[in-house]
Structure 1
């Protein structure tokens, strides 16, 4: 059932070509390594090389009697390929394995293709993830785990995928529960300190507005600052409330908390934009600018426009409980 074998390649790229009969009676096994590339298995390679297991159903469903199988092993550092923008994980041995069968795309396999990557014992805090290259992700493509299941072992990781394309094993820095709790504690303390200083700033602005009642321009400037600081105060309070109650809240309450947090965040952005527009009027359009009920109109935009966006997001069901999980789906934090 296996036809002529043709190994080929050059620096950074090694290829294996096989002709497989449609009447193949068992799964097709291929081994590979970053240095020697793909080849047919032999008895002396136990546990030393990676393995590819192509289920026989792939070939039974083809229209032609023989299918050309192309297996490529690429060194992406030498070739300068498969570079994802803002990639956090590291590609194991800079190795990508490409698998194609015939002239058509193979996907939605009932029995998954299994790809085994061999490696040393991974250090603490590193989680392997089976991924494939998705050209439609982002501007220039990126790694995706859709359709792939990761099974970590001591010195190997088994990837079970329901399609054929270019695969690799990403080594991601894992966020454990203790680190997540420490980060949440730091964020809580920071929000508490920011809340205290925001209250002090608002009180100081109120004092200045009362002290200089005859200075209309100064009162408008202070009013703008108070609204901006007020939105920051509400955002910090919303985060503290969200962090303190999201663990055991009802779904409706969690949606309200999520909408409130989103609203306060949008208010911060809106008031920052209004501050910029106000500075433009002060320093560029210096003369001849008067707007009746200027501060009131800014308040309608600063507090009303975010409410419109949050209302639309709430109608389409964007709010609810979200969890932060490790790669093995262990929940380490919950937020609304």
Structure 2
């Protein structure tokens, strides 16, 4: 270590002073040196202390001039002691993760700045009473029983259940937490749950917190099975009625339906489920009848009678096994059932649904029953009408007399159509043929338009009959009124009811006489026309051929119409279908020949010098081939449409409802339309030709000639048939009389215009008359006939046959 500069001269002077002073000087130097060393040591310590305080970080202590140490509970990235000024002392997380210390079970470690402590978890408390501890050996935590510490911690009916470190509130058996009030328990209705705690032969009765399983009415517990617990099993006391298909009718669809009914009566489902399954099976049968459609009308009506009576018995039995309460079922396919089961008593009761409603005195429901509940039921089936098509209608004598008095003519038949559901009504009382007091009904129907003069909505009921299968009747039922799609009726008996729209065919004696006399006269005249066209040679030609075959078709068709159009009875047999087919063919053939008349007239008047018209081959092909093709296709597509029933009379004609009538009305309307155009064109052309031939012709004479020509064309072209395209379904007396007079005398007018007013034909008639009486034919008449002007003969109606 270097000495301080001020001491050097002093030491030099003392050295130079001599030897005696050397010892003193040496001692003095040693003392000075010790003093200097102490001073140097103090300066060094002070400097070092000042440097450590300058760079050691927070939470650390200085070790020496180059090192620092972290305080307890802190650590640096280099360890406890570090020498770098960039290091820091961070808190040690003893509680982890990962944990450095262990507090033991049911305890939680809590970290602090530079230290930690342990506490018991929520729901636990230390036995020692100390709230904090440092290690696992000091842990005395144990569970707190909140249910004992706070007895009313759970509200309502809920029960406190202690758990490790906590507790839960649970509902007792038979209860569940309310969704609106989560802390409160409410009763569980086990009877409506999906688990179905009771056996299907029993009825579930809910109680607060529990339930009971009891046998339904008409059932009893099986031996060894008590009535009440969930193990109760019951057996039926009431036996279901025997329900079998009608005797002598074979149908796979019907057999399949009764097989389902048999399974329903033998199973142990609840009556509500059995009712739904029964209605579903019935709807499947009616909407997909299968081979039922191939059966005749009698068989289908017998099946309908069997189904209606069987349904009443089956549903009555099921209702007696149900609890005393109203029951309504509306199927997806619009079949509705209403049941009322209650104790016997008096007083009016109203029940029903959208199809029908009923008001009756409840005393009638029980009848002669001694005890037990009474049942009233109403089944409304819109699909049942499918089986009741073409059913007969029996008009009671009082109603018939009233109609005949009003119209002053006998009622010939009643046409009807079903416009409501078929409503079957039944009671516990099975003797309902004659009730002590009438029952009032309100039936809904689908007719919203205004009815015509001879139409009426009537209340009818279905009456089974072994001979006919069944029919609609009105005896014992009368209508009270109706409004807004509903009819109110009263009946003195119960059955299956419906609303029918009836159209009364009032026999018009005058019209019938006109028809018979007119057709008879037309047949004679048509026969004379046929003989004339065959035998009179001077008029032979293509137009005469068309006239001939038109008269033949009209003669055959009118004869068949007069002799076979009506078939008394409620069945359409093969003979009636054959008559309908023949009428279809011959009248269509007549109209086809009328269309050929129009073509010939067009060639004659409009295109006088441009051709002779169609050849005979084409005439026959159109006149007889086209109607044959139409009838063949119609019979192949819908043969059952030939012959139809209207009331008690079967008309051998085409069915209106099935659409087959358009195989006649369509071609007829087309031909009449085309001939009407030809008629107007012809009259217009004739007017021009008359003016060209003789412009000075008097107006009166011209009008007379045009009138005769127009009448001839009208009957020749069939334009008068426009008054009666629907001959068998007329509604207007004016239309009926007009059509009958014009068309029943069509043969007479054809004979008059084509034969009597034709000069050549008259000459032939004179010739034949002279041959018959023995006189010779006048040569003068023959020469006169040969000198007639050709053009005038073509245009004069009496000679041209127009």
The TM-score normalised by the length of structure 1 is 0.47
Pick the structure with greater CA Rg.
2
Structure with greater proportional helix content: 2
Structure that is richer in strand per residue: 1
- Of structures 1 and 2, the one with the larger relative CO (CA 8 A, separation 6+) is 1
TM-score by length of 2: 0.22
